[in-house]
Structure 1
Amino acid sequence: MVTVSTPLGNAQLVRYARQILLEEVGESGQARLLAAKVLVVGAGGLGVPVASYLGAAGIGMLGLADSDLVDRTNLPRQVIYSELDIGYSKVQRLEARILDNNPEVQIMTHPRLTPENASAVIEAYDWIVDGSDNFQTRYLLNAICARQKKTLISGALSRFTGQLAVFRPGDACYQCLVARLPNRDATQGCVEGGILGPMAGLLGCWQALETLKQILALSSRLQEELLLFDALNNSSHRIRMRKDQACPVCGE
């Protein structure tokens, strides 16, 4: 692990005491988190727990990208929002909740990422967390992260199943895994196929944890692996990913 020399203040030592006690983190690891710049794409089922736990963990600069408004159908799984938030901007409400927990975090809000704005937004961050709910955004983030040599932590949900993968510069990328746009009927998200609220919270927390492990460079972090989780059967397994030399994004 690379040591970050910035000393922690007394208030920070108290706030993050339980994390600092972990030998895998320590003061140098906490300083690394405080120096990290992370962009969370999506402020929904995955983005809410990811951003909430990253902010609470002390990520120094946290970006939130989404243009959606809070809807009543969001509330069973996006539990940081309330009835009073319906009709208001998700990123603004999420920003306020994160700052209520940890006012030290610098939060930047962005609209939904598009081919026109994504490159400039991503350039300001070191780590990109994909909590989006559509393949177009996933392909877009993957292409830009590969070009800018940024690590992409990607999560996806469908009914009772979830998947988590990390795409690092030089390794297999998302398009190596999903070479072409899948059939819509075979890849139902929560809007089309339904979902139980805790499923989003479970995978979102897992995604937040993996992001922290990547920043801390822990040996147990995902490395060219796809983690699959079946909540209905309480099973999980990891699959080794291979770089596709013919991939249009990262191949030769």
Structure 2
Amino acid sequence: MASEAFSPEETRRYSRHLVLKGMGGAGQQKLKAARVLVVGAGGLGSPAIAYLAAAGVGTLGIADSDSVAVSNLQRQVIHRTADIDRAKTESAADFVRERNPYVAVVEHPAIEGNDADQVLAGYDLVLDGTDTLTSRRIVAAAAARLRLPLVSGAMSMFDGQVTVFAPGGPSFEAVFPPEADDADLPGCEVTGIIGPLPGVIGSLMAMEAIKLITGIGTPLVGRVLVYDGKRGEFTTLEV
């Protein structure tokens, strides 16, 4: 099937991609054709959604069952004070439409075990920015069954990490073993979290997604990129 031509407005909007060596029109067309699901519209999902929408991903799914709270606004940058008590999916969808009218948005409630495969099956790629191992395992298992690449981000206090699970690479359990439990991982409401940290990790997640879609570079398959915010250092660990 022939690629759909960009409108003059799209050509101006994506001009920095279109002149970028390695991306160009072919890469931008791949972004336009892509269907990407972001699970979690909170700290990690916010920057990931913002950059994927700005980059021109054709269809962006957003899954979350939570509502915007005032305590979210310190780090969840796509939501506004006026969005407090609104569903995060609604707030995020409005942000995407305002940011880029050429992106189609699909809202989903939380991904549950019974319907995970059905929801994920409509997408080419999944990003998981949820904050519990229970939800992460549901998403990872569904992505593995459907052989979909999964970009996974996690963070706590001042530190974060990003990796990619893809067919043929190490499994989710290789990084998050079965014996790990949510009870052992206090949430940010207990430990706190520095505001810009989700921006660092969520932006890296968007970068990995764009690499996977376009074929540019080497994704973090079999590697975990760890960020130490206090020291300002990145470390890459082999899985």
TM-score bracket relative to the smaller structure: over 0.9
Partner of 1:141: 139
Paired letter, 1:127: L
For the pair 1:88 / 2:86, whether they are aligned, the reply is: yes
For the pair 1:12 / 2:13, whether they are aligned, the reply is: no
Q: Is the 8 A contact 2:132 2:182 kept in 1?
A: no
Structure 1, unpaired ranges of 5+ = 242-252
Aligned counterparts of 1:26 and 1:79: Cα–Cα separation in 2? 29
Partner of 1:105: 103
Return the offset for 1:197.
Answer: 0.9
Q: Is the 8 A contact 2:68 2:79 kept in 1?
A: yes
Aligned counterparts of 1:117 and 1:193: Cα–Cα separation in 2? 32
Write out per-residue CA displacement over residues 110-151 of structure 1, whole angstroms, 9 at most, x where no aligned residue: 000111221110000000000101001111111111111000
Partner of 2:202: 204
* RMSD, aligned α-carbons: 1.6
Q: Structure 1 residues 32 and 85 mapped into 2: Cα distance closer, same or farther (>3 Å)?
A: same
Q: Aligned match of 2:121 in 97, 118, 123?
A: 123
Q: Structure 1 residues 185 and 115 mapped into 2: Cα distance closer, same or farther (>3 Å)?
A: closer
Partner of 2:68: 70
Aligned counterparts of 2:203 and 2:101: Cα–Cα separation in 1? 21
Aligned counterparts of 1:134 and 1:183: Cα–Cα separation in 2? 9
Partner of 2:36: 38
Matches for 1:19-34 after TM superposition, within 5 Å? 19-34=17-32
Paired letter, 2:205: Q
Partner of 1:245: none
Secondary structure, aligned partner of 1:109? strand
Q: Is the 8 A contact 1:49 1:201 kept in 2?
A: yes
Return the offset for 1:184.
Answer: 4.3
Return the offset for 1:153.
Answer: 0.3
Count of equivalent residues: 239
Q: Is the 8 A contact 1:42 1:131 kept in 2?
A: yes
Partner of 1:220: 218
Secondary structure, aligned partner of 2:196? helix
Q: Is the 8 A contact 2:124 2:148 kept in 1?
A: yes
Return the offset for 1:186.
Answer: 4.5
Paired letter, 2:187: G
Partner of 2:161: 163
Aligned counterparts of 2:234 and 2:183: Cα–Cα separation in 1? 24
Return the offset for 1:180.
Answer: 1.5
- TM normalised by structure 1 equals 0.91
After TM superposition, what 4+ stretches of structure 1 lie above 6 angstroms from structure 2? Answer: none
Percent identity, please.
Answer: 37
- TM normalised by structure 2 equals 0.95
